[in-house]
Amino acid sequence: MAGIIGGKSVVVVGAGIVGAATTYFLSKRGFHVRLIEASAPASAASGAADGAVSVASKRPGPMMTAALRGIALYRELEREGLFAGLFKSRPTVMVAENDSEVESLLGHAAALAGEGMRLRHLEGDALRRRLPGVAPHVRLAVEVFDEGHAIGYEIVRRFIAASGVPVERDSPVTGLAANDAGTSVAAALTAGGAVEADHFVVAAGGGSAALLGLSEAMRPRKGQLVVTERAPALAASLPGSLMSCRYLLSKDAIRTAGEASGRRFGLVIDPLRTGQFLIGGTREDRDDTGNDHDAVGRLLAGAVRLMPALARLRAIRAFAGVRTAIRDGLPIVGRVPGFDNLFAAAGFEGDGICLGPLMGREVSRLVGGEAADLDIAPFAPGRFERRNLVA
Ligand SMILES: Cc1cc2nc3c(=O)[nH]c(=O)nc-3n(C[C@H](O)[C@H](O)[C@H](O)COP(=O)(O)OP(=O)(O)OC[C@H]3O[C@@H](n4cnc5c(N)ncnc54)[C@H](O)[C@@H]3O)c2cc1C
């Protein structure tokens, strides 16, 4: 029967990293979960991400606080064995190329240190010794320790396998049906019929907008990435991912100038375990997954400007994914007002690999009738007006 407080059946909509994590943590709590996916696991943003598990890339405030907890959970799940072999611990090195970037970077480093992050400033000879491949014009580097990297689709696969829940593939949820009183969701509607449950979690990335009636608040944010051929010695010369200060500025533009902005470039050069480099990425107000020469060319030119030896490598692959951004720059996590059994976890923009496992655990607590462990009030779904939630 639908809508029973304390009931044990849950429908999770979406098998990206957030839905997969939610499914895993709910299963551990003894819930009977049905995981319904429009296409295939990790077929959207979670399968097209870089994979930085990073506090350094967050603005001070609720996202930085959440990211600290997100990394701590990655380490905990690695210790427990669930993420064995999947989480690579490494620093993030943020670099500034001119006076204004130096000023922004110094301010950001102070904020990170204020949150307890370990970091060190590198200039002059110390910078050249630590980062021999970085261009001589780079003025300042800040190495932020205790960060990491994980590949989104591997995390999704691990969560789903460990949960023991079969994924119901190729089964888009077309709407949510309310009970007669309109106080609970009674069923998720699919082409195969109505799926009833006690609780419903919408973790459908960009597909959440229609299901939650939040199309006004959500925006697609395309990102293009490039992968080089292997160059293990060069990759080993970088202690971790190299992030231009402009990356932060490109992210910030989403929050401050979302509607008006077009295409932004925020350069990150990530040395992968394979010895390849992942170079990203754009932020574009578009919803397609194509690549274009202009974007790829500018990403490569930016990367070579920061690390000249990359010019010797061939780019062997370009791909793109679509992030789901929210108008105010914060995700949507929590119970949906007006329904006692409907929860949302979506809109993680470029941070969902870092935050997905944590948010899945938080949502499992809410479904279980417990308070969240993290202050999720800034992420409350009720901060936006909803339209046409229920079919
Ligand atoms: C280019 C790029 C680089 C990125 N780099 C990083 C990074 O370095 N670090 C980081 O932390 N994050 C990064 N991200 C962001 C991260 O990938 C996302 O925030 C995260 O994957 C979102 O996970 P999700 O589960 O919310 O959504 P998704 O992965 O989009 O999954 C949602 C799932 O729901 C399904 N679905 C949609 N609608 C329906 C429906 N109606 N019924 C059933 N199923 C439905 C979809 O098919 C999909 O499988 C990046 C993203 C991109 C695109």
Lowest mean pLDDT among 83-92, 162-171, 243-252, 318-327: 243-252
- The answer for residues whose C-beta is within 8 angstroms of residue 155's C-beta and 6 or more apart is 17, 20, 21, 46, 83, 86, 353, 356, 357
CA 312 – ligand 1 centroid, Å = 33
The residue nearest atom 12 of ligand 1, judged by CA position, is: 351
Give dist(CA 225, CA 277) in Å, integer: 10
Mean pLDDT of 324-328: 95
Mean pLDDT of 255-280: 79
For residue 149, the model assigns a pLDDT of 95
Give dist(CA 304, CA 315) in Å, integer: 12
Averaged confidence pLDDT in the chain:
93
Distances from the Cα of 26 to the Cα of 106, 190, 280, 371, angstroms: 42, 22, 34, 15
Residue 3 reports pLDDT greater than 60: no
Q: Which domains does the chain have, with CATH numbers?
A: 9-47+153-217+328-383 (3.50.50.60), 89-148+218-326 (3.30.9.10)
Residue 253 reports pLDDT greater than 70: no
CA 133 – ligand 1 centroid, Å = 33
Closest to 150 (Cα-Cα) out of 53, 240, 223, 228: 53
Residues with CB under 6 A from ligand 1: 13-19, 36-39, 43-46, 48-52, 152, 172-173, 203-205, 207, 211, 223, 225, 280-281, 321-323, 346, 348-354, 356
What is the phi/psi pair of residue 42, to 5°? 60, 25
CA 7 – ligand 1 centroid, Å = 28
The residue nearest atom 26 of ligand 1, judged by CA position, is: 205
Residue 2 reports pLDDT greater than 50: no
Kindly report, residue by residue over 71-111, the tens digit of the pLDDT. Answer: 999 999 999 999 999 999 999 999 999 999 999 999 999 99
Mean pLDDT of 308-324: 97
The band of 6, judged by pLDDT with boundaries at 50, 70 and 90, is low
The atom number, within ligand 1, closest to the CA of 208 reads 38
CA 132 – ligand 1 centroid, Å = 35
The atom number, within ligand 1, closest to the CA of 204 reads 34
Buried b / exposed e over 248-281, threshold 16 CB at 10 Å, is bbbbebbeeebeeeebbbbbbbbbbeeebbbbbb
Contact of 364 with 345, CB cutoff 8 Å: no
Token pair in block for residue 174: 């077309």
Give dist(CA 171, CA 167) in Å, integer: 10
The residue nearest atom 21 of ligand 1, judged by CA position, is: 46
Mean pLDDT of 309-333: 97
Residue 305 reports pLDDT greater than 90: yes
Residue 314 reports pLDDT greater than 80: yes
For residue 391, the model assigns a pLDDT of 52
Residue that has been written with the tokens 């009977």 in this structure: 32
Share of the chain above pLDDT 90, in %: 90
Mean pLDDT of 345-366: 98
CA 348 – ligand 1 centroid, Å = 8
CA 80 – ligand 1 centroid, Å = 25
Mutation pick for ligand 1 pocket among 35, 46, 363 (CB with most ligand atoms within 8 Å): 46
Mean pLDDT of 258-265: 65
Mutation pick for ligand 1 pocket among 54, 351, 379 (CB with most ligand atoms within 8 Å): 351
Kindly report, residue by residue over 364-383, the tens digit of the pLDDT. Answer: 999 999 999 999 999 999 99
Token pair in block for residue 275: 């010895």
Give dist(CA 7, CA 349) in Å, integer: 32
Mean pLDDT of 150-166: 98
Helix (H) or strand (E) holding 281: strand 277-284
Residue that has been written with the tokens 């870089």 in this structure: 50
Closest to 44 (Cα-Cα) out of 197, 163, 172, 215: 172
Mean pLDDT of 161-168: 98
Mutation pick for ligand 1 pocket among 37, 63, 319 (CB with most ligand atoms within 8 Å): 37
Mean pLDDT of 131-149: 96
The band of 262, judged by pLDDT with boundaries at 50, 70 and 90, is confident
**Three-state secondary structure call for residue 333:** strand
The residue nearest atom 18 of ligand 1, judged by CA position, is: 352
Residue that has been written with the tokens 């009636």 in this structure: 213
**Amino acid at position 166, single letter:** P
The residue nearest atom 14 of ligand 1, judged by CA position, is: 350
For residue 386, the model assigns a pLDDT of 74
